[in-house]
């Protein structure tokens, strides 16, 4: 870890957990090396390593406690928190990427709403409660540092006739949480269990106690607004709570299922809350106008092409909106992104639409500003990012190649179900820096012409496979095969559609690496099942013969059976400074698993590394970087230490700057001896240094 600023101790906490555990935490100012990356615009990205964005929700939170509301971007694909400090420049979009603040925000699941329920000026957090079809609540108790206290778990309740029961909200629904009745506390709107009518759960804090510091709810109506949504489509029925006839309707397909998004705001300056409504499998947002009173909402009209005919929201699927002042002009703007829980049908690359408000907060006029807010300033390949470091041009500098699951093309309906079409590419970022200061520049956004192959899940591996002195390309893909692309003087052509007749099932993720240390590159392949396939090179360097050895190398399977039947393993073998073989494996659930005990044990069980005296000696890695992760490691900058670049299904990358003792961010289980853990990394303003004493797990 290189410290770029003078040490400054912000706080020192000594916590005695038990008579056997100790914990010492220091917060120091520090800086992290930033590797510059240039994209198609030929200008450096502002946030190159932010990790990409797919299905985003946005909230305001004063993270650095300077009195200015900062921006938290939450990606439901992998439950990723992406933090941006608002520098507060008037009439300007001015954010700085600050990943270290994510450590201070509690774990969020599938959806998150940032709202100040006790009106103390600090936004609290409502988020989905896994396994309970409801929500839990975190109270913002920040003083000198950002921190939260969980005050509602496992679920938030409401008095519903005969007693207090769970407020029903699924992982596929985004509720409305705002002061609906204008009495100073936060109420909740959500569709009832069968999905046609909107329930209002009124917060009774002001009525009972005269202050808004409680979460005491009562269901006061099951038909807020006197409208209904069809249980078979996104048809809206006005002036009804009985679903017996319709006055006006929106044409749509049949067979609706669970999933809606709410945003409550005043659209027409009448002091009533109107509703922006998104629906599963549809790309648009409906504006439902409340012509009633504060005490009795009544939806009297709606707009199906909101906010305008020319610039209406068209985001597959199920757009969710946030109302936030993005450009510091004291007017709240509109951010819209897909919310659909299915990651394989939604826009991935241009999936954050920003509408600037040219009107007033209670009568907004939204004008489309960009369709890739923040995304345009980071590496984002759409859905999926599979990085590989390899010195392509033989200049002594590792270049960066990134495959992906695919970029969104279009959507259509088939037998009443939404389908979306994606196409995969391989991007080549040339290292134009030096050994001490690497820099990556997008050199070819369609390397080897793979875009025209209409593939999904491109995962590259490089080596000279025919002995002609040029580097060839193996392409893993969603079919589970390997495509051999022969390099003919820089021009690639498909030599074999199914290299050595290899088929591992689905989503092959190959690496060429000399595993048995005989001087020949072997073939290691991850797959959808979560295991690792080993094909030993029994030929020569110029005429390889890959012989199948096992489909359970190291007895490894990264599938989490409590959550999924799939693992989507992405192996990366490498050597440490002592030439010992190590392994990092990405997985569907986002964890990066590390193993050693590999050399001389190719028939046995690979073991999690259990010490930290060498770089990357990590054990039982619980390093969660999102959804369907992949990692590559190499010596790409000075200091002699390995660096890691990790990709995820949001299409972006994260860079981790290795240090002498530990790869920051990887959760470690330490032995009886004391140890030091430094996190997070990358970092800008501060890092945490945790010192274990005695028997402790950090």
**Each residue's pLDDT tens digit, 608-638:** 875 323 443 333 333 679 999 999 999 887 6
The answer to whether 168 and 196 have CB atoms below 8 angstroms apart is no
Please report the domains of the chain, with CATH numbers, ordered by start residue.
Answer: 383-408+420-656 (2.115.10.20)
The answer to whether 569 and 591 have CB atoms below 8 angstroms apart is no
Please count the CA atoms within 13 angstroms of the CA of 582 that sit on its side-chain side.
26
Q: Phi-psi category of 472—alpha, beta or left, where left has phi over 0 and alpha has psi -120 to 50?
A: beta
Q: What is the DSSP letter of 531?
A: -
Low-confidence ranges of the chain (pLDDT < 70): 1-33, 194-195, 243-257, 610-623, 638-640, 658-698
Which runs of consecutive H residues, i.e. helices, occur in 112-204?
A: none
Using one digit for the tens of pLDDT, what is the confidence trace for 319-368? Answer: 999 999 999 999 999 999 999 999 999 898 899 999 999 999 999 999 99
The 3-state secondary structure of 51-76 reads CECCCEEEEEECCCCCCCCEEEEEEC
Question: Looking up tokens 């070819």, which residue turns up?
Answer: 444
Calculate Rg over the CA atoms of the chain: 26
* pTM of the full structure: 0.88
Whole-angstrom Cα distance, residue 596 to residue 584? Answer: 9
The answer to whether 558 and 529 have CB atoms below 8 angstroms apart is no
CA angle 591, 686, 636 (to 5 degrees): 55
- State residue 31's pLDDT score: 33
- Alpha-carbon separation of residue 135 from 156, 213, 431 (angstroms): 6, 18, 46
- Kindly state the tokens that stand for 678: 């430094």
Bridge partners (DSSP) of residue 225 are 298
- State residue 636's pLDDT score: 86
First CA to last CA distance, the chain? 19
Question: Over the range 343-366, which residues count as b (16 or more CB within 10 Å of their CB) and which as e?
Answer: bebbbbbbbbbbbbbeeeeeebeb
Q: What is the DSSP letter of 350?
A: S
Whole-angstrom Cα distance, residue 332 to residue 334? Answer: 7
The sign of the dihedral angle between the CA atoms of 104, 106, 107, 112 is negative
Whole-angstrom Cα distance, residue 153 to residue 137? Answer: 7
Q: What is the DSSP letter of 599?
A: T
The helix (run of H) or strand (run of E) holding residue 208 is: helix 205-209
- State residue 186's pLDDT score: 99
- Alpha-carbon separation of residue 213 from 156, 204, 210, 580 (angstroms): 15, 10, 9, 57
Any idea of the CA torsion for 72, 76, 77, 79, to the nearest 10 degrees?
70
Using one digit for the tens of pLDDT, what is the confidence trace for 513-531? Answer: 999 999 999 999 999 999 9
- State residue 672's pLDDT score: 35
The answer to whether 473 and 448 have CB atoms below 8 angstroms apart is yes
Strands 482-488 and 491-496 turn out to be antiparallel
């Amino acid at each position: 870890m290189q410290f770029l600023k003078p040490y400054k101790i912000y706080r020192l906490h000594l916590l005695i957990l038990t008579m056997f555990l100790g914990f010492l935490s220091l917060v120091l100012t520090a800086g992290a090396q930033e590797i510059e990356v240039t994209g198609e615009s030929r200008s450096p990205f502002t946030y190159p390593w932010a990790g990409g964005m797919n299905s985003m929700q946005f909230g305001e939170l004063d993270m650095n406690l300077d009195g200015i509301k900062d921006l938290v971007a939450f990606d439901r694909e992998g439950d990723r928190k992406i933090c941006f400090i608002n520098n507060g420049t008037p009439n300007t979009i001015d954010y700085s990427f600050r990943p270290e603040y994510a450590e201070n925000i509690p774990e969020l699941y599938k959806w998150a709403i940032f709202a100040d329920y006790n009106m103390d000026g600090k936004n609290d957090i409502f988020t989905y409660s896994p396994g309970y079809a409801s929500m839990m609540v975190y109270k913002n108790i920040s003083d000198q540092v950002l921190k939260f206290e969980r005050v509602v778990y496992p679920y938030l309740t409401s008095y519903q006739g005969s007693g207090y029961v769970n407020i029903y909200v699924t992982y596929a629904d985004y509720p409305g949480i705002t002061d609906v009745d204008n009495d100073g506390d936060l109420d909740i709107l959500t569709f009832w269990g069968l999905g046609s009518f909107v329930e209002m759960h009124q917060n009774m804090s002001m009525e009972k106690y005269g202050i808004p510091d409680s979460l005491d709810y009562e269901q006061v109506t099951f038909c807020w607004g006197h409208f209904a949504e069809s249980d078979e489509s996104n048809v809206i029925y006005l002036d009804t709570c009985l679903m017996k006839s319709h006055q006006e309707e929106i044409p749509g397909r049949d067979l609706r299922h669970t999933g809606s998004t709410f945003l409550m705001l005043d659209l027409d300056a009448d002091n009533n809350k109107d509703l922006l409504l998104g629906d599963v499998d549809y790309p648009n947002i409906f504006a439902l106008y409340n012509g009633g009173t504060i005490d009795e909402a009544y939806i009297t009209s709606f707009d199906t092409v909101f906010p305008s005919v020319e610039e209406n929201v068209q985001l597959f699927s199920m757009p969710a909106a946030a109302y936030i002042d993005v450009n510091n002009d004291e007017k709240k703007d509109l951010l819209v992104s897909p919310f659909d829980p299915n990651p394989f049908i939604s826009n991935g690359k241009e999936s954050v639409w920003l509408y600037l408000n040219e009107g007033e907060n209670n009568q907004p006029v939204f004008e489309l500003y960009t369709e890739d807010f923040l995304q345009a300033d980071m590496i984002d390949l759409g859905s999926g990012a599979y990085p590989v470091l390899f010195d392509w041009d033989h200049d002594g500098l590792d270049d960066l190649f990134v495959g992906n699951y695919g970029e969104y093309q279009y959507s259509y309906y088939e037998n009443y179900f939404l389908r979306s079409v994606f196409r995969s590419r391989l991007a080549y970022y040339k290292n134009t820096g030096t050994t001490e200061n690497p820099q990556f520049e997008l050199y070819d956004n369609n390397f080897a012409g793979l875009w025209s192959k209409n593939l999904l899940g491109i995962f590259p591996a490089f080596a000279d496979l025919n002995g002609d002195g040029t580097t060839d390309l193996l392409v893993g893909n969603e079919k589970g095969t390997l495509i051999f692309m022969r390099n003919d003087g820089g021009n690639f052509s498909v030599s074999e559609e199914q290299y050595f007749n290899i088929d591992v099932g689905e989503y092959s993720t190959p690496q060429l690496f000399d595993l048995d240390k005989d001087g020949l590159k072997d073939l290691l392949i991850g797959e959808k099942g979560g295991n690792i396939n080993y094909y030993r090179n029994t030929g020569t360097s110029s005429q390889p013969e890959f012989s199948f050895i096992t489909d359970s190398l190291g007895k490894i399977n990264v599938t989490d059976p409590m959550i999924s039947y799939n693992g989507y393993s992405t192996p990366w073998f490498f050597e440490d400074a002592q030439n010992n073989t190590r392994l990092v494996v990405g997985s569907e659930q986002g964890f990066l698993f590390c193993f050693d005990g590999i050399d001389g044990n190719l028939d046995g069980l690979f073991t999690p590394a259990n010490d930290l005296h060498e770089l990357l000696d990590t054990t039982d890695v619980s390093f969660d970087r999102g959804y369907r992760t992949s990692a590559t490691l190499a010596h790409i900058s000075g200091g002699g230490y390995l660096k890691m670049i990790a990709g995820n299904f949001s299409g972006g990358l994260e860079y981790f700057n290795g240090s002498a003792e530990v790869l920051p961010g990887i959760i470690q289980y330490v032995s009886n001896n004391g140890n030091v853990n430094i996190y997070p990394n990358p970092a800008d303003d501060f890092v945490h240094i945790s010192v274990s004493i005695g028997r402790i797990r950090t």
